[in-house]
A and B are shown apart, each in its own frame.
Chain A
Amino acid sequence: MLIFATSDKGGTGRSVTSCNMAYRRALQGEAVAYLDFDFGSPTAGAIFDVPKAERGVDASGLHSYFTKHTEAQQLDTALHSDSDTLRDLPRISGASRLVLLPGDKDGGEFSISADMPARCAQLFLKLDREFDLCIVDLSAGRSYAVDLVLEATARPELAALTSRWLVFHRWTKQHILAAHGLVFGEKGLLKAGERRGHDPQKLNNSVRYVRTAVVDLGVDQESVTRPAQGAWLRAYDQKLREQADKLRMGRARLAGQIPYDPMLQWSEQVIDDSDVSGLKIANQATVQAFEDLAAKLSDERFWEGL
Chain B
Amino acid sequence: MSHATTDRDPIPAVPDDGAQPLLGFGEVRTCLIQNLAGLSPSASVALMQLTPGSPVSKVDRPTRRVVSPEQVTGVDCRLHVAREGRGRAIGTVLSHAVVTNGRILQGTAHAALASATAKERREWRHYLRQPGVVEVLGSPKPHNVMDGYLTDASPARGLDLASISDRIIDEVQQSDRLDHTTALRTGTAVVRWAATLAQEAKPTVGIAKSDIPNFHVIRLNGSPEDLPMLIRFCEEFALHEWLLTTVQDVIVPRAEADIARDRDPLDSLLFALNELAPLWMPPTHLSPDMKALWEAMESRTHYSRLFERQVARIRDLRDQVKIRPPRRF
Contact = CB atoms under 8 A, between A and B. Distances in A.
**Direct chain A–B contact by Cβ atoms under 8 Å:** yes
Interface of A: 29, 31, 59-60, 70-71, 73, 93-94, 118, 121-122, 125-126, 128-132, 156-161
Given A29-B261, A93-B260, A157-B180, A122 B174 contact: yes
B254 A158 contact: no
Contacts of A122: 170, 173-174
Given A59-B155, A94-B257, A31 B185 contact: yes
Q: Chain A at the B interface: mostly helix, strand, loop or mixed?
A: loop
A130 B30 CA distance: 12
A161 to B, nearest CB: 7
Contacts of B180: 125, 128, 157-161
B173 A126 contact: yes
Give 7 closest A-B pairs by Cβ, nearest first.
Answer: A94-B257, A160-B180, A160-B181, A122-B170, A60-B155, A157-B180, A157-B174
A140 B161 CA distance: 38
Contacts of B261: 29, 94
A126 B254 contact: no
Contact of A125 (B162, B174, B186, B187): B174
Nearest to B250: A31
A303 B180 CA distance: 22
Contacts of A93: 257, 260
B166 A128 contact: no
A130 B185 contact: yes
B173 A129 contact: yes
A93 B259 CA distance: 12
B179 interface: yes
B170 A126 contact: yes
Interface of B: 31-32, 34, 154-155, 162-163, 166, 170, 173-174, 176, 178-182, 185-188, 254, 257-258, 260-261
Contact of A130 (B179, B187, B260): B187
Q: Chain B at the A interface: mostly helix, strand, loop or mixed?
A: loop
Contacts of B188: 129-130
Contact of A71 (B32, B163, B186, B258): B163
A111 B254 CA distance: 41
A65 to B, nearest CB: 11
Contact of A132 (B162, B176, B185, B187): B185
A70 B182 contact: no
B154 A71 contact: yes
Given A129-B32, A129-B34, A157-B176, 10 more contacts: A71-B154, A71-B163, A125-B173, A125-B180, A126-B173, A128-B182, A129-B186, A130-B185, A160-B180, A161-B180
22 contacts: A70-B155, A93-B260, A94-B261, A122-B173, A122-B174, A125-B34, A126-B170, A126-B173, A128-B34, A128-B180, A128-B182, A129-B31, A129-B34, A129-B185, A129-B188, A130-B185, A130-B186, A132-B185, A157-B178, A158-B180, A160-B180, A161-B180
Contacts of A60: 154-155
B135 to A, nearest CB: 25
A1 to B, nearest CB: 10
Nearest to B169: A126
B155 A131 contact: no
A287 B258 CA distance: 24
Contacts of A131: 185
Contacts of A94: 257, 260-261
A29 B257 contact: yes
Nearest to B156: A71
A210 B258 CA distance: 30
Contacts of B34: 125, 128-129
Instruction: Identify which of A118, A126, A129, A160 gathers the most chain B CB atoms within 10 Å of its CB.
Output: A129
A290 to B, nearest CB: 19
B103 to A, nearest CB: 13
Contacts of B185: 31, 129-132
Contacts of B178: 157
